[in-house]
Structures are given as structure tokens and as C-alpha cells.
Structure 1
Amino acid sequence: MTGKINSENGYVKVEIHKVFKVLLSILLCFPVIGMIVLILIDTKEFSPILIVVMLLQVLMIRYIFIGLAFKFLSKDSLNRLRDVLDIEWIKNQA
């Protein structure tokens, strides 16, 4: 979390740390690496449906696991900050 808080107003920006972005990018590469290994090792039994499965795995990891975890953890962090500062949040419409 980064931002600036004054007595009247302020802003808080919540984002994923750069190290976690790298680690999550590596996690997203696992289905692609698995597909490449499968193509190189077992070309006789390759099915085109496996490409769809790989894409769905990447999308599921990105939007369900990472997206929901970030949403819930960032909301929890902001609520803790609000409790410490004893303030109420006003969402920015921008």
C-alpha cells in the first residue's frame, strides 16, 4: 500500500509487490511449460483439446486464484488501516 493521508482527505493505492508479480508470473507459466513438454515427449497422443485445457488453466489461475485472493486480502488490509486511523472510506469515482 502506498498513498498519502491528510487530516481531511487522502488516497491509498494497493498493488501487488514486484517480487510476488514475478513469482505469480512463473506460476502462470507452468501450464504452458507442461504443454510444451507434452508436445515434445508424446506427439502421437496429442489432442487439440489440451490447448483449450491449458488456456482455461491459465485463466483460472489468473482470475480466480490470484484475482480473488488480491481482492479479499487488499480489502482486509484497507479495513485494518481504517480501524487504525479511525476514519471512514469514500471511494474515488475515477
Structure 2
Amino acid sequence: MNILFKTTILTLAIGVVTACTSYVPEASWYKEGASKQSMTDQLGYCRKDVDAENLPDEQAERVIAYCMKSEGYSFKTDSERKQYEKTKSELNPNGIYLDN
């Protein structure tokens, strides 16, 4: 029983460590004032404009990124986007931080 208990605990610990180390933050294209649908539409337009399906993956990703950036989008993780929005909300029109 003692060996079974230790094996179970070890298996759970390995599972937890593996789950924590495999986390990849979600990232997407972001443009202030643009809806998720607008972003998805623009991404589709860019893919079509650059004929991405006929390019090697790495090259397609690069030219799609150029296209999206030319339309005012930036590629941000969720935490970067949230930090950007928080910082922006703390600024007044003159660009000075407001006291809490």
C-alpha cells in the first residue's frame, strides 16, 4: 500500500509539473478599436492577398505579418494586450498618469 501511495503521488506531481511547463500564452493580432471579427476578416484578407496557401509556412507567416502590420495590427499575448489597455486607461488625454 505504501508503494502504491508513493507511486500515485509521484505520478500526480509529474503531471502537475508537466502541465505547468507546457503552458503557452495565447497571442493574437490586436488593433485598438477593432473587433475580433474585424481582426479575423483582415487576417483572411491578408492570407488571400499574399497567396499564403502557395507559400512555404515560414514565408507565409512573415508576409501575412507584414500585411497585418500595414493595416495597423500588432501581435500581442493576452497579458501584453491587457497591460496595454490598463496603461491606456490610466492616461488622461495629455498623456499624464492619473493618481488612484
Q: Name the TM-score, length of structure 1 as normaliser.
A: 0.35
Q: Name the TM-score, length of structure 2 as normaliser.
A: 0.34
Query: Which has the bigger relative contact order, CA under 8 A and spacing at least 6?
Result: 2
Structure (1 or 2) with the larger CA radius of gyration: 2
